[in-house]
């Protein structure tokens, strides 16, 4: 596979570290497949496999690695251009397009011919074999040849990569994931900008069943395919919710839950040295997601609260969740809002000082500390990867 990367090209002096990070991420993404080597060349990465590698599986995995602009399954040859030309003609015969063009690139002077001469040589072999017309502007099929220091690559297809930046180049964020449709998409958006997500889920067990936790685990497994082994914190929230239900006016409950979620997220972020929090909110989607309520929640955050979906419509988010493969998981029913916890008419507007005045009467720090003492932390890895899921579940530990 010849991998071309996305915005890394823009990073000047940081470029080598970005490239190294991407190489490591590629190795993780391809773990378990018969991989031979991942090599860094100026402007590109060459990944080689044992013959047993399944091209469909490789393509699927690579398509989710942030930072790739494109990747192309290529055939490798020694520095023998005649053999390359012959193989190119063979490959074109199997496609028989209406027209073709050859793009040759000699980044190294490992063969005497210039890029142009290589293009002409390969093109002539294809014409001799097929009689097809050459079109160097908009051919139906591009035949690409890349000359490397000790080998030549030949390829016809180019798959689009996920784009963005390699995970791990932007630092860590704590992504609040609910088991709903939106939050996994929000996390994905940040991964694509180079952030590594630490996941945090709040559940109301025993008021609700374990479905939201199961769903969240599945969602995080899906996302772990993109960023590799991931950390998932799960927070039993029922005790705290019980206190809030007993003491606060019903319309303010949801906004209070959010403020306490953020306080717990502050603690997790400190522990993980994360640089921001991430939520799946978008303006006006539900009562708790008005601009006023967002400000009221942000008032207790110690870090920026990033809301990458803030300007998106639900149907746009759903389409992205479908592409991501989390939609199917998210729409499974779960007892998110048992009627006892959720008010019938949540407030659409609130002020930080109003909530602060209410909370001043309560032992907020104590509640947060008690809730954090119940936090569970587990490692989640992509399905089918090195260790079976059961083994990972066993890592579940109280921190």
Binding site for ligand ATP (CB under 6 A): 176-178, 180-183, 200-202, 261, 279-281, 285-286, 288-289
Q: Choose the contact partner of 266 out of ligand ATP, Mg ion, none; CB within 5 to 8 A by kind.
A: none
Q: Binding mask 179-198 vs Mg ion (x if CB under 5 A, - otherwise)?
A: -x------------------
CB atoms within 10 A of CB 267: 19
Residue 168 interacts with Mg ion (CB under 5 A)?
A: no
Number of alpha carbons in the 13 Å side-chain half-sphere of residue 4: 11
Min. distance of Cβ 200 from Mg ion in angstroms? 14
Burial class of residue 224 (count of CB atoms within 10 Å of its CB; 0-12, 13-18, 19+): buried
Residue 178 interacts with Mg ion (CB under 5 A)?
A: yes
Residue nearest to Mg ion (CB): 180
Q: Choose the contact partner of 256 out of ligand ATP, Mg ion, none; CB within 5 to 8 A by kind.
A: none
Q: Choose the contact partner of 281 out of Mg ion, ligand ATP, none; CB within 5 to 8 A by kind.
A: ligand ATP
Residue 123 interacts with Mg ion (CB under 5 A)?
A: no
Min. distance of Cβ 235 from ligand ATP in angstroms? 8
Residue 33 backbone dihedrals phi, psi, to 5 degrees: -90, 155
Q: Choose the contact partner of 288 out of ligand ATP, Mg ion, none; CB within 5 to 8 A by kind.
A: ligand ATP
Residues that bind Mg ion (rule: CB under 5 A) add up to a total of 2
SS3 category, 2: strand
- DSSP letters, 160-196, are E---SB-TTSS-EEEEE--SSSHHHHHHHHHHTBTPE
| CA distances (Å), origin 251, targets 245, 254, 261, 272, 348 | 10, 7, 17, 33, 9
Nearest to 371 by CA among 261, 273, 278, 297: 261
Q: Choose the contact partner of 221 out of ligand ATP, Mg ion, none; CB within 5 to 8 A by kind.
A: none
Nearer to ligand ATP, 194 or 308 (CB): 308
Nearest to 259 by CA among 159, 113, 367: 367
- Of 16-24, 46-54, 174-182, 387-395, the window that binds Mg ion (rule: CB under 5 A) is 174-182
Min. distance of Cβ 128 from ligand ATP in angstroms? 59
Beta strands at 68-72 and 2-5: parallel, antiparallel or unpaired: antiparallel
* Footprint on this chain of Mg ion (rule: CB under 5 A): 178, 180
């Amino acid at each position: 596979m010849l991998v071309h990367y996305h915005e890394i090209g823009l990073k000047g002096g940081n470029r080598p570290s970005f490239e190294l990070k991407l190489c490591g991420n590629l190795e993780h993404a391809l773990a378990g497949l018969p991989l031979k080597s991942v090599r860094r060349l100026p402007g590109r990465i060459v990944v080689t496999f044992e013959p047993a590698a399944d091209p469909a599986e490789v393509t699927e995995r690579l398509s989710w690695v942030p930072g790739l602009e494109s990747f192309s399954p290529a055939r490798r040859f020694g520095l023998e251009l005649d053999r390359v030309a012959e193989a190119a003609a063979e490959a074109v015969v199997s496609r028989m397009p209406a027209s073709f063009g050859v793009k040759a690139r000699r980044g190294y002077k490992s063969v005497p011919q210039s890029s142009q001469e290589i293009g002409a040589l390969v093109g002539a072999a294809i014409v001799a074999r097929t009689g097809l017309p050459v079109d160097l502007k908009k051919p139906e099929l591009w035949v690409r040849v890349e000359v490397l220091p000790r080998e030549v690559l030949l390829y016809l297809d180019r798959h689009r990569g996920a784009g963005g930046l390699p995970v791990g180049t932007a630092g860590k964020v704590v992504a609040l994931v609910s088991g709903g449709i939106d939050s996994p998409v929000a996390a994905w958006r940040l991964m694509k900008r180079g952030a590594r997500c630490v996941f945090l889920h709040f559940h109301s067990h025993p008021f609700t069943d374990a479905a939201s936790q199961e769903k969240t685990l599945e969602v995080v497994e899906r996302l772990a395919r993109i960023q590799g082994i991931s950390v998932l914190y799960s927070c039993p929230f029922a005790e705290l919710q019980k206190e809030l239900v007993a003491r606060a006016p019903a319309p303010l409950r949801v906004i209070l839950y959010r403020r306490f979620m953020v306080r717990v997220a502050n603690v997790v972020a400190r522990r993980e040295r994360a640089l921001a929090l991430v939520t799946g909110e978008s303006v006006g989607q539900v009562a708790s997601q008005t601009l006023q309520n967002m400000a009221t929640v942000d008032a207790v955050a110690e870090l920026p609260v990033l809301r990458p979906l803030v300007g998106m419509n639900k149907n746009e988010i759903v389409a992205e969740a479908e592409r991501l493969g989390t939609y199917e998981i998210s729409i499974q029913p779960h007892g998110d809002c048992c009627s006892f916890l959720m008010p019938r008419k949540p407030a659409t507007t609130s002020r930080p000082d109003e909530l602060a005045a209410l909370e001043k009467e309560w032992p907020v720090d104590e509640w947060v500390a008690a809730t954090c003492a119940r936090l569970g932390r587990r490692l989640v890895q992509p399905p089918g990867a090195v260790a079976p899921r059961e083994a990972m579940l066993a890592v579940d530990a109280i921190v």
